Amino acid sequence: MSVLVKALLMYARIGRDQKLTLTDLNRTLSEVLSDLENLILHSKAKIISEPLPSLNVYEVEFRQLLQNLITNAIKFSKKETDPEIKIHCRNEGEHWHFSVQDNGIGIESKYLDRIFFIFQRLHIKEEYEGHGIGLAHCKKIIELHNGRIWVESSIGIGSTFYFNIPILNP
């Protein structure tokens, strides 16, 4: 089965037959980093994370969210600079506010509104592989948690992906 078909099936299955589970997000992040160990070592990426909370989340999907954001941060890093990814989380009363910040190539402002839609690619496949599905996955996962995701970015400086999840998520 092609990678594209598998990715589409994963997208269609987000949230199916899942239930919210109290999850230690530090453990989830450790598992993601273990899964991405070869990519991290090869790219010389540095991942810095504050302690994360334990939350009621759709565990498999939240893991996929972190994996997609970290993989993208590494994939779209500057060739001359080792990737650095910072993960932050804070309680803002009504919701948890997360950020995943990188020092990558950045995204032009004219594309910021469309990157979360399926099949949106900003670069040719020869330059950066992928199908334009990863950030659509992220958006669907955050919406499943009744949250919101957005990005701020500067060309040549990097991007910060933000997402909020209500503290009393269903």
d(CA 91, CA 73): 24
pLDDT band (50, 70, 90) for residue 39: very high
Strands 84-91 and 46-49: parallel
pLDDT 10s digits, 118-151: 645 454 444 545 445 789 989 999 999 999 999 9
pLDDT cut 70: percent of the chain above it = 79
Give kind and range of the element (H or E) at residue 141. Answer: helix 134-144
* 53, 96 Cβ separation under 8 angstroms: yes
d(CA 44, CA 59): 28
State the pLDDT at residue 114: 80
Is pLDDT above 50 for 157? yes
Alpha helices in 14-58 (DSSP H): 25-35, 37-43
- Give the mean pLDDT of 48-53: 97
Domains, the chain, with CATH or none: 3-166 (3.30.565.10)
pLDDT band (50, 70, 90) for residue 17: low
* 88, 101 Cβ separation under 8 angstroms: yes
Is pLDDT above 50 for 54? yes
User: Smallest Cα–Cα separation from 71: which of 116, 15, 33?
Assistant: 33
